[in-house]
Amino acid sequence: MKTLSVLKTSLAWTMALLLMPVLAQAGPGDQTPEQYIAKWKEVAVRKMKEHGIPASITLAQGLLESRSGNSILAREGNNHFGIKCTPDWSGGKVFHDDDKKNDCFRKYRSADQSFEDHSKFLERPRYASLFELKPTDYKGWAHGLKKCGYATDPRYPHKLIDLIERYNLDNLDRGVDVTYASRNSTGKPEAKPVRNHGRPDDNVVTIGNTRPVELSEGRIKFVRARQGETVRDIAAEIQQMPGLVAGWNDMAKDGRLEEGQIVYIQPKRNKSKAQESCTAQQGETLWGISQRYGVKLKKLAKYNDMGIADPLQPGQKVWLRKPRK
């Protein structure tokens, strides 16, 4: 019976992966980052005009904290920014495990109230230094939020900056609209680099109504790690050897994963078809670029004549395929 159960599970995975290009993400109410931005960008711009907070920062925080509006906290409490209860809070409350068990979070009657409360929350004295920055300085705001204590995650500023640059949200700070899924002269959607880990509806399928499997622009299947997971956990779920999954991601078999981290469940490509090169960001490693663009780490090292652990400088050009002579 155990063998039969394993075979059924394996068959379900195989069929779902084969059908991935034509199936939409399962689960009522789930939305992509692009859909989230389209829904809330006007509100973010309005709050920017009313309170002076860059619209890019508001949207990036909303995307990150609420998982594009799909988190339990966003769905149950209309809380898109992870704001917890404070002694002066007299509104609704919802409880979830976070830094401690049954942490108290603010609950709102609507998501619009969450956006307004987020703006007022940042007007507290502890965040006063942020308003000395230019409204277009989204990097300064991202690092300032971490410095002022909005989040404890040391990678928080970089995550916000990545979202802003991935979806061109800084355009909103300058009064320029942002839209996605534009079409070229052939009528096909414009290609996006793999770093745009958006989740277009026709590239996502949910296995067993639990974990979405996504398809990158390089046509490589991947999943996103959940809090506390390891490479072995994901390998067990997809019934693969941990060594294989670790190898596909250039990681150790016992490596721990950050929440939301991309984990490829098939080999990465030998080169990028979407673009020839990229520019290294602050604090980025060659491995990070390998994961961002779905190109094998050893290949990147060879193309750039460097070791896999050699440091990158911000602004450094990194070849994603063999450079032309």
Distance between CA atoms of 73 and 71, rounded to whole angstroms? Answer: 5
33-173 and 277-319, same CATH topology: no
Distance between CA atoms of 46 and 42, rounded to whole angstroms? Answer: 6
CATH, domain range 277-319: 3.10.350.10
List, in order, residues 6 or more apart from 182 with CB less than 8 Å away.
Answer: 189, 190
pLDDT digits 0-9 by tens, 247-257: 999 988 777 88
pTM: 0.50
Topology of 33-173 in CATH? Lysozyme (1.10.530)
Closest CA to 80 of 50, 32, 116: 116
Q: How many angstroms separate the Cα of 197 from the Cα of each of 222, 264, 268, 295?
A: 10, 12, 15, 14
Which pLDDT value is given to residue 19?
33
Digits of tens for pLDDT over the chain (325 positions)?
A: 444 444 444 444 443 333 333 222 334 457 889 999 999 999 999 999 889 999 999 999 999 999 899 988 999 999 999 888 988 888 999 888 766 778 899 999 999 999 999 999 999 999 999 999 888 899 999 999 999 999 888 899 999 999 999 899 998 988 888 877 543 333 333 333 333 333 333 344 444 435 778 888 778 888 888 888 888 888 888 777 888 888 999 988 777 888 888 999 889 999 988 889 999 988 889 999 999 899 999 999 999 999 988 889 989 999 999 988 6
Listed by start position, the domains of the chain span: 2-25+199-264, 33-173, 277-319
Copy the structure tokens of residue 34: 């692009």
